Amino acid sequence: MTDTDKSNPMQPVEVDERYQILDVLRGAALLGVLLINLDSGFRGSLFHHILNFHTHPGQANRATDLLLEWIFDFKALTLFSFLFGVGAGIQSERLIKRGRNSGFFLFRRFTVLLIIGLGHMLLIWNGDILTLYAVCGLLMLPFTKLPGKLLVVTGLAVIALSPYLPFFYNYFPDAEAMRAQASRATRIYSSGTLAEISSLRFDEAVHFILPLLLASLPRTFGLMLLGTGVWRIGIMQRPQEWRSLLWGILAIAGSLGSLTTTLEVWSKETGNPAPGAFDLLYPYSVLFLAFAYAACLLLWLGPRQANRLEWPWRLTAAAGRMALSNYLAQSVVFTTIFYSYGFGLFGRLGSAAALLLGLTVFAAQLIASELWLRHFRFGPAEWLWRSMTYGQWQTMKRSRSFNGQPGD
């Protein structure tokens, strides 16, 4: 690759103003992803978490389990997936306006992300979502030029059908096999050698994580189509013009999501089956609340100008601009804390202590992101992703006139 050249037709266009609300949404979703990954993946085996709603005794842990399940579990990941589709829509729209081949560019972009995701999965932490996003992004390519309304309808249809597709089921082993795998993971990740950890990470990725990603693919694909369509319609850019729709989503989706999620948490807490009608809505409960969260933030932040966001939102936006770097950094930090080559705390930390740890790490990332972006245009991982996508080293140092661009 060569240094950035203004004559290169693949060079990105700098703009004066980002859609900071998107960065805020991305940063907020990143917090939720961190807390859920920490609770169900980093601090202990996913299978232990599945088999035991409360993995550690104590009222603080019990309350934390209920809080995480109700507010964050899968909702943050749903919002993150939707926003990835929004980013793809931004990239596609900008390239089409410039007369570029958007399909070729996005193919390169998603292929590079696939490489990063596979490296993350096999070398750092196998609970990776980047691989899934890259595959869904590649599958989206034939759809990126469709009208916004058609993308929205198609995305909603895929989401609605996804729980009933054949490979949605049976991607986990039986309870006895899960207990054995959880015990093995606890032993190796907490006290095993680096070679044993690497071998187990690969084994889990092949036999458990990839089937789980396959099961998640239809819904994630639908969410990305929906995100691209919503951007193309203009809801994200001009939320003030869509206030009636956003209020409707907040009221209806928020009510349905609150009801179904409460029933879900009650069922897990008591061991009692939920009412029969709940079975129809259960697969969509996380979607309802995720959409309600997004509508709430758009209504709250929409009237504000990009340069008038209060400081908590500015920090959140900075973390959102560096979402890829922060996501990868979380894996490095938490595997160091929980795996034997670091502090070896795997399986030992309760959910309440893990919540405090997660909030502390995210607070540090908020500050670090703000400080970093005062001097640099991109986060380090974003810089690598862009440089590999454009086929040239991107200028890292920030100029006074540069404020970033949407969709990065």
Q: Give the span between the Cα atoms of 248 and 144, in whole angstroms.
A: 27
Angle at 41 between CA 39 and CA 43, to 5 degrees: 60
Q: What angle do CA 97, 102, 103 make, to 5 degrees?
A: 155
Question: Exposed/middle/buried for 210, CB within 10 Å: 0-12, 13-18, 19+?
Answer: middle
**CA 6/CA 9 separation, integer angstroms:** 8
pLDDT given at position 3: 46
How many residues are present in the chain? 408
Domain residue limits, the chain? 2-393
List 393's β-bridge partners, or say none. 3
Collapsed DSSP state (helix, strand, coil) of residue 2: strand
Residue 117 has which token pair?
Answer: 């995701």
113, HSE (Cβ side, Cα atoms, 13 Å): 23
Q: Give just the sign of the alpha carbon dihedral 71, 74, 78, 81.
A: positive
CA angle, residues 355, 359, 364, in degrees to nearest 5: 150
Distance, in Å, from the CA atom of 248 to the CA atom of 252, rounded to the nearest integer, reads 6
User: What stretch of H or E contains 3?
Assistant: strand 2-3
Per-residue pLDDT, 2: 45
Measured distance CA(172)–CA(156) in Å, rounded: 26
pLDDT along the chain (408 residues), means of 10: 45 51 94 96 92 90 93 92 94 82 89 98 96 97 92 96 69 83 96 97 92 91 97 91 95 93 86 70 86 93 66 92 98 98 96 97 98 95 95 84 49
Residue 323: name the closest of 76, 62, 73 by CA: 76
Residue 392 sits at φ, ψ, to 5 deg, of: -155, 150
Instruction: Quote the pLDDT of residue 18.
Output: 55
Whole-angstrom CA distances from 241 to 19, 23, 32, 151, 244 are 16, 20, 28, 20, 8
- Strand ranges inside 236-359, DSSP E: none
